[in-house]
Structure 1
Amino acid sequence: MDTAARSSTSIIPHVEFAAIRHDMEHSDAQREIIIKKSRDVQKYSKQAIFAAHRNDTARCGKLLLDAAVIAGEILPILTELPNLRYGSFSNAMEEYAEARCFQTFLGSGRVISPTELENVERDEYLGGVLDFTGELNRYAVARATKRDVQAVVNCRDLVEGLMGEFLQFDLRNGAIRKKYDSLKYTLRKMENTLYELSLAEAGFKKQEDPEAEAHEKQAEREHQLESL
């Protein structure tokens, strides 16, 4: 057949190209919806953490409920286009998991289980738990200013327990690995906070009992003389 005589229809799949363009336009439109709604999920989750730090449990619970409702509105889109989960929505659900972790800890002193977090996938849960330890450190510092040593000890013990769990993972380079690497610094900060509290407590006791402090100094001088 003469090339000039061929119709463009026979050499270019116009219908298929049109279908591809339609799919891409549809995917882009759905992606914009996910990005917009995910911002709200993330915003409400951050606000819930702030409310939890201020001991406003009612507002914290309301914000997390609102975040969960919006996340539920996104799920039908992800059922159709699962590849759109990774990005804005996954980041938002990680923030949501972090907020739920902090809420649960303040309410019952434990780490929430993944089965209690609806619509949160494995890596989102792990990332949320690791981020939660940062909020736990802020909480521990706040309790330390109130001389609540036991609260700081509880926070330290929980982070230490999580360290033990994460040590059993074979984490490869990635977002979860980076978050895990910061966990040891969080634990160190809590240890330092407890150490500073012990020093402050020792100093306070000396001020309360100056006679005991004098005896301690006298004993130290005698020890120095004996060592000469």
Structure 2
Amino acid sequence: AAPATDSNATGIEAEFQLYLNQLAADLATVESVKATAAELTKLAQLPLQALRCIHRSCDSDSISKAIDEARAALQPSTDLLAKLGQQMPAGTYYKYHQLWREPVQQLCMAVTFISFLESDRLLSLEDAASQLGMAGDSDGGGGSTLHLDLEDYLFGLLLLASELARLSVNAVTAGRPDLPRRVADFARHLEAGFRLLNFKNDALRRRYDGLKYDMRKIEEVLYDVTVRKLE
């Protein structure tokens, strides 16, 4: 075979210089997304901390205060989600998704918890996404934009069920025996909805397996309240 000419060698070097530049750009993107996701992981705890105060005191004023503080604590996280959307190149959602899925699940739990406390209403995926400043799953299909993934939303609901089971227990001690019935009515509908689903995600299925224990705790508390005629 004929040896490569100087022009061929120059062309190959130029091509690999482009590859080097692309790798450097990709690495810079990964590092910036990782840094933002790490910050989001910390900030996503703040609204949950505000809401969990109601486990100690769950009178109407305390719940209203916790909701207000949680909503205020959500804003830094929604700002970071917007930043992630800008950092993430188009079409790379699932390349980076694992970096932020856990804090997003926790944020989903926070906004759905607020919805329950305010109105006993299940916040839809689209409404949860809107409150977090994200696109809904149907709007962000194909990984083209930063959106609220359906599995992350469902995971957030299962986290909510565990939080409600805890609230049901603590509400009786805190002098709110009316709350366990509200929790039970909501949780029963939630469980019925989950029974319709066929899980392919192993982590989601394992979390769903824990729902029956949450339901058992909720029903036991309600039974105790009913028998003791505390309502």
TM, length-normalised to structure 1:
0.77
Query: Where does structure 2 lack aligned partners over 5 or more consecutive residues?
Result: 54-62, 135-147
Q: Does 1:157 align with 2:185?
A: yes
Aligned alpha-carbon RMSD (Å): 2.5
Quote the Cα distance in structure 1 between the aligned partners of 2:2 and 2:41: 61
Q: 1:134 to 1:15 in 2, by over 3 A?
A: farther
User: How big is each residue's C-alpha offset from its partner over 1:128-179, in whole Å with a ceiling of 9 and x where there is no partner?
Assistant: 1111111112221221213433211111221111111111111124222122
Q: Does 1:143 align with 2:143?
A: no
Q: Which residue in the other structure is 1:46 paired with? A: 45
Q: Which residue does 1:108 correspond to in 2?
A: 119
Distance 1:87 1:146, change over 3 A: same
Cα distance, 1:2–1:179 mapped onto 2, change above 3 Å: same
2:157 pairs, out of 107, 113, 129, with 129
> Residue 17 of structure 2 corresponds to which residue in structure 1?
18
C-alpha distance in 2, partners of 1:16/1:147?
72
Q: Which runs of 5+ in 1 are unaligned?
A: 205-228
1:17-66 Cα deviation digits (max 9, x unpaired): 33233223222222222222223333222221120122422221111122
Q: Provide the residue aligned with 1:31 in structure 2.
A: 30
Which structure is higher in RCO with an 8 Å CA cutoff and minimum separation 6?
2
Q: What residue is the counterpart of 1:87 in the other structure?
A: 98
Q: Does 2:172 correspond to 1:172? A: no
Q: Which amino acid aligns with 1:30?
A: T
AA aligned opposite 2:29: Q
Match of 1:222 in 2: none
Equivalenced residue count is 201
Larger-gyration structure (1/2): 1
Alignment partners' CA distance in 1, 2:12 and 2:103 = 40
